[in-house]
Chains A and B, each alone.
Chain A
Amino acid sequence: MIAERLEQTAARFPDSIALVDGDTRISYLELTWRVTAFARYLKQDLALAPGEAVGFFLPNCWQFVVGFFAVAKIGVVCMPFNTRWRASELESCVRRFPVSAVVTSQELREPWDRLGELIPPERVLVIEKPEVAEALAPESSAQADWRGHQSAEKGIALNLMTSGSTGRPRVAPRSHRAMLAGATNVGQAVGVRAGQRFLAIVPFYHSNGLNNCMFLPLVHGATIVVMKKFEPRRFVDLVRTNKIQVLIVSPLILRVLGDQNLDAGSFSSVEVCLSSGAPTPRALAELWQDRFAIRVRQLYGSSETGTISIEPADAPIRGGSVGTPVPCVEVRVLDSAGGERALGEVGEIVIRGPAMMPGYVGEPELNARVFTGGYFRTGDVGKLDEDGNLSIVGRKKRTINFGGIQVDPGEIEAVIEKMPGIRGCRALGVMDRRQSEIIKAVIEVGDEHNRSRREVVEHCRRFLAEYKIPRVIDFVNAIPVDLTGKQLMAWGSSSDELSSQQNEKTATD
């Protein structure tokens, strides 16, 4: 269904540029050729069958895009992995959610080479390998009429890894129909049109990156300029040289760019700027308005639901506001008994919409808890006002949002608690001085043990990706009983939880 949609777009705009990646420019027609050739390779040479999954372990690049549509074309599920994960993290996922092959690059392949027992070497598809490279970029359109597999509407196109709070990742599946519905609704909310130019900087392994930076523009005949890694000056160059019109970024990117010595006209081509992944501090949105005349609009969504709401272009800047629901998405605010909250009253945000997942894979008990009457419980706490504007004031679920990536505190706690002499650990998110969430570990040590920050970092590195290693590490004799990690964290308000505990000490100091 998704692949057919791309073909329909290509039939309307065959010569429009779909994708720019460095010096590589690919038209819509050429993109469909490449998708077909790679789909045929996966099906005929690797014998992949509908319903199987293929792991994607790539930076943002044209090969990811071709691969995504190719697996969709043969009814296979795309399963992207965070490219910063270590072999042990990948292994625990793949053991529970098997993949039949992995598409990766020479630079990133190393962890997969160590998982040969789970993924045989011939199933690690390195994009630089001649046979893979050839399938990704055929010399002619000779295979263009190959049909592949007509995916059912409810067939799963994408399995998104998402973290819970218990040390076990979850998989949120999205059907072909859900992905298309999401792209249609967000396209309407933002006014996406053919020929519009997007900068694709949010990683495609992230729900927002894949759905909004890649899939959304390609459904509408727009052009994406892919960026593998954020680097402020290169970002500004790409915006200028490609006359980028739509930016989808994170607050961190806005902050780093805001710190640069840039001309007021650096982003003059930009018509839409969406900030997502984490709350955008009000002061940062005001800085962009004042310096670059750009209204940064908050986008709110999740791996489970797709995009929920977006701030309208003409809305005043308000801390905590996440705007109005995108078309076809229903938002309600409930009290703890499941009753509807009145307008202006705070409660848990629940949502229902056509882009939503049907439920986590293999988690019937969890699914019974996270859905209520057909609505998904986001775990976020907020309120609706009389204009239909949604604001978020905190969080009910126990998770950490680091730079737009959900981190499972339970996973960090389990790793740290493996250290000898550690009696317990609580991991939680705290705000740094610039209102970004960072990871803090509060570690309870036995009286007879000295533990240092260095030992904890070294230990964590053996099991966890670098970004999961706590920035703030506190040693205590007893973890406070009220430190549950479920503390409410205000969107857009200031918080200084770090101030009193700035010294690294061993517990017995």
Chain B
Amino acid sequence: METIRDDILVRVRRVLIDSLSLNIEEDDLQYSESLDQVIGLDSLAVLEFIAALEKEFGITIEQEKLELSLLRDLSALADYIQSLSAAPPASDTPA
């Protein structure tokens, strides 16, 4: 289970950087770090990030139910995505 979650974490971080065109190295973004420390969490950014997560993991995230606290922390977000249990295996995604 740990490896699935680790894989989700890596992918969530990459989706964040790619979907918002952030100029950050992946390794420079800590999983426990609050996202609003590195970006402005405006509604457009949240919208784009969620849309990209849904596409990446083939899931549906109800934005109205999504608490902002989940979006602040990549680990919490990865747990949430895992709980939706629709994440395809890591081998489906490019390195």
Contact = CB atoms under 8 A, between A and B. Distances in A.
Interface stretch (B6-14, B43-51, B75-83, B86-94): B43-51
Contacts of A468: 40
B51 A259 contact: yes
Contact of A466 (B23, B37, B40): B40
A432 B63 contact: no
B24 interface: yes
B4 interface: no
Contacts of B64: 231, 234
A466 B41 contact: yes
Contact of A438 (B18, B21, B25): B21
Nearest to A455: B37
B39 interface: yes
Contacts of B43: 84, 229-230, 467
Contacts of A471: 20-22, 39-40, 45
A433 interface: yes
B37 to A, nearest CB: 5
A503 B25 contact: yes
A129 interface: no
A432 to B, nearest CB: 4
B44 A504 contact: no
Contacts of A231: 63-64
A140 interface: no
Contacts of B23: 472-474, 498, 501-504
Query: Which among A468, A473, A501 has the greatest number of chain B C-beta atoms within 10 A?
Result: A473
A403 to B, nearest CB: 5
A467 B44 contact: yes
Interface string B24-62: 110010000000111111111101100100110000101
Given A433-B21, A474-B23, A504-B24, A457 B63 contact: no
Nearest to B55: A259
Interface of A: 84, 229-234, 252, 256, 259-260, 402-403, 432-433, 438, 453-454, 457-458, 460-461, 464-474, 498, 501-504
A233 B64 CA distance: 11
A231 B43 CA distance: 10
20 contacts: A230-B43, A252-B44, A256-B48, A260-B51, A438-B20, A438-B21, A453-B38, A460-B40, A461-B36, A466-B40, A467-B43, A467-B44, A468-B40, A469-B40, A471-B20, A472-B22, A498-B23, A501-B23, A502-B25, A504-B25
Contacts of B51: 232, 256, 259-260
B25 A256 contact: no
Contacts of B38: 453-454, 457
Given A231-B63, A232-B51, A457-B37, A403 B25 contact: no
A503 B62 CA distance: 32
A402 B44 contact: yes
A256 B48 CA distance: 7
Contacts of A252: 44, 47-48
Contacts of B54: 259-260
B24 A432 contact: no
Contact of B42 (A432, A458, A467, A502): A467
Contact of B21 (A229, A460, A464, A498): A498
Contacts of B47: 230, 252, 256
B7 to A, nearest CB: 22
A58 to B, nearest CB: 16
Nearest to A438: B21
B30 to A, nearest CB: 11
Nearest to A467: B42
Nearest to B41: A466
Contacts of A458: 37
A502 B43 CA distance: 23
B27 to A, nearest CB: 10
Contacts of A402: 44
A465 B41 CA distance: 10
Contact of A461 (B18, B40, B62): B40
B21 A457 contact: no
A501 B23 CA distance: 7
Contacts of A460: 40
B82 to A, nearest CB: 21
A254 to B, nearest CB: 12
A233 B54 CA distance: 12
A411 to B, nearest CB: 14
A469 B41 CA distance: 9
Contacts of B37: 454, 457-458
Contacts of B60: 233
Contacts of B20: 432, 438, 471
Contacts of A465: 42
Contacts of A256: 47-48, 51
Contacts of B18: 433
Contact of A403 (B24, B44, B55, B62): B44
B52 to A, nearest CB: 8
B88 to A, nearest CB: 15
Contacts of B28: 504
Nearest to A440: B23
Query: Which among B28, B40, B41 has the greatest number of chain A C-beta atoms within 10 A?
Result: B40
A458 B60 CA distance: 31
Given A471-B45, A503-B25, 6 more contacts: A433-B18, A454-B38, A464-B40, A465-B42, A467-B45, A471-B22
Contacts of A260: 51, 54
